[in-house]
Amino acid sequence: MSQSRQDSAWVYFEKNMPTYAILSATWNCGTALIENLCRDPEAMINAYCRNGKKLAAASPQLASNDRVKIFEGSIDDVDLLLEYINGATAIFHAVSTNANVPGCDVGQKTAETIVKALEKLKR
């Protein structure tokens, strides 16, 4: 599908279907959540990850799914996160680490960025 046609389809679906925003799409929890939501033919999915190529390698079917929009960026990028959550029905924060690492606050920092984006969206 061409980019402009895909964008047009996205605008239509975004206005008429529930949109779910999943943070940490490349980790097990995020990937499993996306795969489950893809079973709902009315679900639109915004998948946020740091590495889009890693997500495409882990779940190649997502790259060709018109109902999945992949956002690639840093967890500190408030403006990208704002674009990612805008219009979402629900946000799933699946950011975590595989081990209990003292001082690791990636989950908290991501939550803070989400709140900043929501506050910006509110204005």
Q: Which residue has the higher pLDDT, 79 or 103?
A: 79
Mean pLDDT computed over 86-112: 80
Task: For residue 106, give its domain range.
Answer: 3-122
- CATH number, domain with residue 24: 3.40.50.720
Please tell me the predicted confidence (pLDDT) of residue 11. 56
* pLDDT single digits (tens) 22-66: 988 777 788 888 888 988 988 999 988 888 888 888 888 877 888
Residue with tokens 């799409």: 25
- What crossing angle do the helices spanning 106-122 and 78-85 adopt, rounded to 10°? 70
With pLDDT > 70 as the criterion, what percentage of the chain qualifies? Answer: 85
Nearest-5° angle of CA 88, CA 23, CA 53?
115
Domain total of the chain: 1
Please tell me the predicted confidence (pLDDT) of residue 8. 54
Phi, psi (rounded to 5 degrees) for 104: -80, 120
83 closest CA partner among 34, 42, 117: 117
Alpha carbons 92 and 29: distance in angstroms, whole number: 10
